[in-house]
Structure 1
Amino acid sequence: MPRILTKIAAALASVAMLALACPAQAAERANFEFTDISGERFVVQLTDPEKIAHARDLLAGTTRDEPHLLGRIIKRPVAYNPRWSYHYDPSTVTFFDMAIEVCDATIPYVEDHLDEAGGAFLPGLYWCPWTSRLVRELPA
């Protein structure tokens, strides 16, 4: 029995040392509100630290590069964006300067035609509102 306890203690010590040597990177999440030419507001969640930094730089005015949002939508609401029946898949969101027309639509147009999204309208469920513009970061 003492040998088993010694092995368990050694295993726990090894795990603790690994945790200290290689700390797990916490998944940062940040929610941002954007608008488009319609004037409506939409919330996007970002999980990539570089994309979060870019969004914050856009809001701070330290960059004007790639100000618009592009990503794949999921046809269901989420708690952080309850007004709409769809949301961006956070793992697909990126920023752009110019994009092809086939993925452009306003926030309310996507809502009104959500049943058509994924076909000729927003092929692959990719949405890139050309007039999208970040407005603010929402509190955590």
Structure 2
Amino acid sequence: MRRMLTKAAGLAAVGVLAFVTAQPTQANTLSKQPGHAAAEGSAYFVMTDITREEFVIKLTKPGDIEHARELVSGQTTDRPHVFTRIVKRQAPYNPRWSYHNSPDNTEFFDQAFEVCDATIPYVEDYLDEAGGAFLPGLAWCDWTSRLIREIPAP
């Protein structure tokens, strides 16, 4: 019974996450507002969490890049946490970890479902289980994540 409930909760969470990520985000509309310059190309940011480990994310959507820069500069505190889909392989810009974020599937949030919450090192430790009951759909939303700085492209 418990296994069935776990699977049902995981499937429901993935469905809700798919719906949430399909909706236009406020960050995507920022670049269309007057006074907001559109960011071009990719940008790289260091995030941390409660463990104080550091993880580099790559952003490609202009609205997300602008929102990330506003978070780092302190211009906003809205949607401070990172939601992404993980890719189970190392990236040149994030060599310490065996996984990286999917830039086209990265957004920011205030609150999210528990099924996608995990710290940076916990994801690394259980990466082989990600995509199943752990981080269904490879959706990752570290509730304590926050951006701390922008770094140059590698």
Q: Do structure 1's residue 72 and structure 2's residue 72 form an aligned pair? A: no
What SS does the corresponding residue of 2:63 show, helix, strand or coil? Answer: helix
Report the TM-score, using the length of structure 1 for normalisation.
0.80
Question: Superposed, which structure 2 residues align to 1:51-130 within 5 Å?
Answer: 51-130=64-143
Identity, in percent, stands at 64
The aligned counterpart of 1:4 is: none
Of 97, 117, 136, the residue aligned with 2:149 is 136
TM-score, scaled to structure 2: 0.73
Q: Residues 101-133 of structure 1, C-alpha deviation per residue, up to 9 Å, x if partnerless?
A: 000000000000000000000000000000001
Query: Take 1:30 and 1:60, find their aligned partners in 2: how far apart are those partners?
Result: 15
How far apart are 1:27 and its partner, in Å? Answer: 5.5
User: What are the ranges of 5 or more consecutive residues in structure 1 without an aligned counterpart?
Assistant: 1-25
Question: CA deviation digits over 1:68-108, x for unaligned, max 9?
Answer: 00010000000000000000110000000000000000000
How many residues in Structure 1 have an aligned counterpart in Structure 2?
116
Q: What is the root-mean-square deviation in Å for CA atoms of aligned residues? A: 1.4
Distance 1:101 1:73 in 2: 16
Bigger radius of gyration, 1 or 2? 1
1:33 aligns with 2:46: yes
Runs of 4+ residues over 4 Å off in structure 1: none
